[in-house]
Structure 1
Amino acid sequence: MRVVLVTYGSRGDVEPMTGLARQLQALGAEVRVCAPPDFAELLGGVGVPLTPVGWPIRALATRAVTGKAPKTLPEIAAELTAMAYEAVAAVAVGCDAVVATGSLPAVAGAQAAAEKLGIPYVFTSFSPCYLPSPHHRPVAWPGQVLPADETDNRVLWDANAEHLNTLFGETINTHRVSIGLPRTDNIRDHVHTALLFLAADPVLGPWPQPADLDVAQTGAWIRPDERPLSAGLEAYLDAGPPPVYVGFGSMPLREAEEVTQAVIEAVRGQGRRVLLGSGWADLALIDDRDDCFVVGEVNQQALFRRVAAAVHHGGAGTTTTAARAGAPQVIVPQVADQPYWASRVAELGIGTGHDGPTPTAESLSSALEIALTPETGARAAAVAATVRTDGAERAANLLLGMIGRSGSAVSAG
């Protein structure tokens, strides 16, 4: 069997696909991943072939944050839809299924390729908050203001569909017509499938019932990371009590230097050592004191078991990794689903969410006071024991079972 996995987004959109890819390979499937060119090394390191899609995502994200993006949103959407379509169409001929996630225009291009080729296709979300439900409000998209006094979530999700049609409908439909496919009047629901995968842990991010959608919640797609920590990092960890990790992953920050100053002051103010994850924000040391260390790419699965707390942006993958490690969390949400994960961490009692995307020394210190209590630590340890580790295996078996039933449970359009 051959399966094509498609994603366009940051590390948090690509890493779970490597977990699914490895499980599919273990079950005898041939797998190819279509993803941004930034992740050639990541995918090559786990033996999964990469077909590059679109522009390097880090450059695109950095330009968007600095306001220097050379293209408008419609221009980006049009090109990304076409590039995803071309990449998938080139590698998916004769394959058995296409699984897609990430940026909506790219997903629409992947879905169009599967539809054109007559190949079963499955949409995946890594966060429940992206899927229409009567139990929660939609995530607001650029240019959309959700009325605060509207309490009927179905009304809000209808407005969400209309807004996505306004943002991307004409662009995606123009592409569909150009390749001989019919127009659709609901872009969002068209790229979803009769059965969706929700690759989120059912304790951390439960799918509420009763539901309007048929969702298969598999658990998070985790790729076991066996990489050792560097000698320098090991020496730093061994030189004193567990530090507080601070990193924002694939989030570029407008005020990175000010944020770095604030977080180091806050952690030091709690009497703790600091471990900075440089990430796309390029966090760096502010002085030469020996209570602060910087790491780049690192095995967070191993690292988070050895920290006093993890301060991060609240991506689904980082939240799950920290929860699985039993590390208390402070989430400083920047965009998208990150406020959702901040709220879940607070509700579960395994940490807290920061109010707003730009911490000060005072605001982060207050949040750390919650995360570093013995009660939060005990709760984090208890929840860690409940986090599923077999989500990718369950998804791979489910997908191959669908293919084995001639795709009867999988939508091709």
Structure 2
Amino acid sequence: MQVILSTYGSRGDVQPLAALALRLRAHGVPVTVCAPPDEEHARFLGALGVETVPVGESVRALVTGKLPVKGDIPSRAAVLAGRFQEAVSSLAGPGDVVVATGLFPTVAGAQAAAERAGARFHHAALQPTALPSPHHRPFEYPMLPYPPEVTDVRELWDLNIATMNTLFGEAVNGARAAAGLPAVDNVRDHVNGRSPWLATDPVLDPWPQGSELAVRQTGAWLLPDERPLPDGLSAFLDAGEAPVYVGYGSMPLPGAPDAAEVALAAVRAQGRRIVLARGWAGLTGADEAADCFVVGEVNQQALFPRCAALVHHGGAGTTTAATIAGTPQVVVPQIVDQPYWARRVAELGIGAAHDGPTATVDSLAAALGTALAAPARDRAREAAALVRTDGAEAAARLVLER
């Protein structure tokens, strides 16, 4: 048996699969990862010794380029689904296991390949809003909004079937046709299957009872990071009071060109120093003041515990890393599942949820005030002790159990 892991997304999608790949390899299982061709992904996976097959176009180029309009999505999705179907088909055989995460059409392409090959398939969601539940709303695609008068969650999930068919029916059934498989009417439920996996932490994201899906929640797939902090950053941290970290990861922030200036002013309004992560938005401290240190790729596991608070976009991986660090956080959510994680941070009392994707100096300073206060600090430390760290091992055992 070999295992093919498939994903399409940013670092937050690739890193969990790397964690699972290493756990499977520790059990003696051969693993190949199908992932986007971005140089940063290739460098990251190569350093871990993970065998990788590049598939599709650069995610960074896709995210930072021109935003797609409604008419573009079905055709672009069909191309991605087809490429992943071809890539996984070239690897999978009878008795193998395929585990897929990432963008829906790429999961569908991997699934079609697994079905054609006679391989076992698992869809692993890295966030809950992709999975139908009466306890949360489906993600709303801006180009296909739900009728404003519909507020019942179950009815919204029923409408979501038509939305997914409209956007991704061509992609799913095109990949199935290429694999010699019949078309399906409900692409969402077919791709999810009856028992999808949920790779999130039960403290941050408790999957409720009473859902129709038999979801198997493993915990987040965490990858230990032993990299030291850069010498300059270590010296900066040692030289004064704990700073506030601000970084928006793979979010390009086209609607907030002044995000760095806003962050600097808001953090300084709290009397704090700042560590500013460039990310895909290219944030930088233009004034080059001594109270600001700008970083690129950095070990979050080493940095986050040394910060007073963390301002970020609310990706699943960053939110989990912040929670494990025991550091209060401010989530400024941008897209997809990020509003969900912002709400969970506020509900748990481990930080603050910013109202909307674009921060002002006053709004960010106010949210930071909440995060830096004693109740959030205390609750963040308490929550850190509750987060499970064996999610990748739990997922590896699910692969091996049959």
Classify the TM-score, shorter chain: over 0.9
Question: Is residue 2:355 matched to residue 1:380?
Answer: no
What is the correspondence of 1:290-329 to structure 2 with a 5 Å cutoff? Answer: 290-329=290-329
Q: Distance in 2 between matches of 1:93 and 1:167?
A: 30
CA deviation after TM superposition for structure 1 residue 94, in Å: 4.9
Match of 1:43 among 42, 45, 51: 45
Question: Is residue 2:249 matched to residue 1:249?
Answer: yes
Distance 1:333 1:80, change over 3 A: same
The match for 1:152 is 152
Q: Distance in 2 between matches of 1:138 and 1:328?
A: 27
Q: Deviations over 1:16-73 (max 9, x none)?
A: 11111111111111111001011111111111111001001000110135x7x9x922
Q: Is the 8 A contact 1:256 1:283 kept in 2?
A: no
The match for 1:200 is 200
The match for 1:96 is 96
Secondary structure of 2:65's aligned partner:
helix
Q: Distance in 2 between matches of 1:148 and 1:23?
A: 45
Unpaired runs of at least 5, structure 2: none
Q: Is the 8 A contact 1:243 1:307 kept in 2?
A: yes
CA deviation after TM superposition for structure 1 residue 142, in Å: 3.4
CA deviation after TM superposition for structure 1 residue 109, in Å: 0.6
Letter in 2 for 1:29: V
Letter in 1 for 2:269: G
The match for 1:405 is none
CA deviation after TM superposition for structure 1 residue 380, in Å: 0.2
Letter in 2 for 1:46: L
Secondary structure of 2:101's aligned partner:
strand
Q: Deviations over 1:164-218 (max 9, x none)?
A: 1011113332332243110000111111123211100000011011221101111
CA deviation after TM superposition for structure 1 residue 305, in Å: 0.6
The match for 2:223 is 223
Letter in 1 for 2:63: A
Q: Deviations over 1:333-370 (max 9, x none)?
A: 00000000000000000001111111111110110010
Letter in 1 for 2:43: E
Q: Distance in 1 between matches of 2:33 and 2:171?
A: 25
Letter in 1 for 2:227: R
Letter in 1 for 2:65: R
Q: Distance in 1 between matches of 2:213 and 2:176?
A: 25
Question: Is residue 2:185 matched to residue 1:185?
Answer: yes
Q: Distance in 2 between matches of 1:280 and 1:401?
A: 39
Secondary structure of 1:281's aligned partner:
coil
Q: Deviations over 1:69-119 (max 9, x none)?
A: 9x9222211110111111111122356200001111111110110011111
The match for 1:108 is 108
Secondary structure of 2:74's aligned partner:
helix
Q: Distance in 1 between matches of 2:291 and 2:311?
A: 17
Deviates more, 1:256-265 or 1:392-401: 256-265
CA deviation after TM superposition for structure 1 residue 10, in Å: 1.1
Q: Is the 8 A contact 1:256 1:282 kept in 2?
A: no
Q: Distance in 1 between matches of 2:371 and 2:2?
A: 45
Deviates more, 1:251-260 or 1:266-275: 251-260
Deviates more, 1:342-351 or 1:190-199: 190-199
Q: Is the 8 A contact 1:97 1:121 kept in 2?
A: yes
Q: Distance in 2 between matches of 1:178 and 1:398?
A: 29
CA deviation after TM superposition for structure 1 residue 255, in Å: 4.3
Q: Which has the higher contact order (CA 8 A, sep 6+)?
A: 1
The match for 2:389 is 389
TM-score calculated relative to the size of structure 2: 0.96
Q: Distance in 1 between matches of 2:66 and 2:381?
A: 38
Q: Distance in 2 between matches of 1:399 and 1:178?
A: 27
The match for 2:58 is 56
Q: Is the 8 A contact 2:136 2:153 kept in 1?
A: yes
Secondary structure of 2:285's aligned partner:
coil
Q: Is the 8 A contact 2:94 2:118 kept in 1?
A: no
Letter in 2 for 1:171: A
Q: Is the 8 A contact 2:4 2:92 kept in 1?
A: yes
Q: Distance in 2 between matches of 1:183 and 1:287?
A: 58
Q: Distance in 1 between matches of 2:210 and 2:124?
A: 20
CA deviation after TM superposition for structure 1 residue 256, in Å: 5.0
Letter in 2 for 1:41: R
Q: Is the 8 A contact 2:82 2:174 kept in 1?
A: no
Q: Deviations over 1:237-262 (max 9, x none)?
A: 10111100000001111145411111
CA deviation after TM superposition for structure 1 residue 11, in Å: 1.1
Secondary structure of 2:258's aligned partner:
helix
Unpaired runs of at least 5, structure 1: 403-413
Q: Deviations over 1:298-357 (max 9, x none)?
A: 110111010000000000000000000001000000000000000000000000111111
Q: Distance in 2 between matches of 1:26 and 1:269?
A: 48
Q: Is the 8 A contact 1:128 1:206 kept in 2?
A: no
Q: Is the 8 A contact 1:333 1:339 kept in 2?
A: yes
The match for 2:277 is 277
Q: Distance in 1 between matches of 2:79 and 2:170?
A: 13
Q: Is the 8 A contact 2:32 2:51 kept in 1?
A: yes
Q: Distance in 1 between matches of 2:289 and 2:171?
A: 53
Q: Identity, % of aligned pairs?
A: 57
Secondary structure of 1:303's aligned partner:
helix
Q: Deviations over 1:230-288 (max 9, x none)?
A: 11110111011110000000111114541111111000111000100111111111202
